[in-house]
Chain A
Amino acid sequence: MLPSSSLTAISVGYFLALLFGFISTAFISRWMATTYGARSSLGLHFALITIVAAPLCVGSITHLFPDVFLNVLVLIPAMIWSMYLLYTGIPIALEITAEKGMLMASALVGWLLVASVSLLGISVGLWTLGIGPFLGV
Chain B
Amino acid sequence: MPDTIEQYYHDNVVTRLVQFSVIWAVVAMSVGVYLAAELVAPTLDFGQPWLSFGRLRPLHTNGIIFGFGVSALMGTAFYSVQRTSHVPLYAPKLAWVCCYGWQLVILLGGLSLLAGWTSSKEYAELEWPFDIAITILWVGFGIVFFGTIARRKIKPIYISNWFYGAMIIVVAMIHIVNSLAIPVTFSKSYSLYAGAQDAVVQWWYGHNAVGFLLTGGFLGMMYYFLPKQANRPLWSYRLSVVAFWAFTYTYIWAGPHHLHYNAIPEWVQSLAVVMSLILLAPSWATMINGIMTVRSASEKLKTDPALKFIVLSLAFYGLATFEGPMMAIRSVNVISHFTDWTIGHVHSGALGWNAMVTYGTFYFLVPRLAGKELYSVGLANLHFWLALAGTMLYIISMWAAGVSQGLLWLSVDEIGELSYGFKDIMASMVPYYGLRLIAGLIFLSGTILMAYNLYMTMKGCKPVLVKPPKVDPAYSV
Contacts and interface: CB of A to CB of B under 8 A. Distances in A.
A124 B295 contact: no
A133 B407 contact: yes
Given A121-B326, A124-B403, A133-B411, A102 B332 contact: no
Nearest to A136: B412
A102 B410 contact: no
Interface residues of B, number: 49
Contacts of B418: 136
A110 B315 contact: yes
Given A109-B312, A113-B318, A135-B407, A103 B332 contact: no
Given A113-B315, A120-B399, A102 B295 contact: no
B477 interface: no
A114 interface: yes
Contacts of B96: none
A137 B315 contact: no
B115 to A, nearest CB: 38
A128 B411 contact: no
Contact of B331 (A106, A110, A117, A125): A125
B298 A103 contact: yes
B412 A135 contact: yes
Residue among A120, A133, A136 with the highest chain B CB neighbour number at 10 A = A120
A24 interface: no
Interface in B303-329: 308, 311-312, 314-316, 318-319, 322-323, 326-327, 329
Contacts of A114: 318-319, 322
A79 B392 contact: yes
A79 B396 CA distance: 11
Interface stretch (A9-17, A39-47, A68-76): A68-76
A136 B416 contact: yes
Interface string A112-137: 01101110110111011100011111
Contact of B314 (A110, A124, A127, A134): A110
A22 interface: no
Given A99-B301, A102-B298, A117 B392 contact: no
Contact of B315 (A83, A107, A123, A127): A107
A97 interface: yes
B403 A120 contact: yes
Nearest to B439: A76
A106 B311 contact: yes
B412 A97 contact: no
Given A68-B431, A79-B392, A110 B318 contact: yes
Interface of A: 35-36, 68-69, 72, 76, 79-80, 83, 97, 99-100, 102-103, 106-107, 109-110, 113-114, 116-118, 120-121, 123-125, 127-129, 133-137
Given A100-B298, A106-B314, 14 more contacts: A68-B400, A68-B428, A68-B432, A79-B392, A80-B389, A103-B291, A110-B315, A113-B316, A118-B322, A121-B323, A124-B331, A125-B332, A135-B407, A137-B410
6 nearest interchain CB pairs? A110-B315, A99-B301, A99-B298, A136-B412, A113-B319, A128-B331
15 contacts: A68-B432, A72-B435, A99-B300, A103-B295, A106-B312, A110-B315, A110-B318, A117-B326, A120-B341, A121-B327, A124-B332, A124-B336, A124-B406, A128-B332, A134-B411
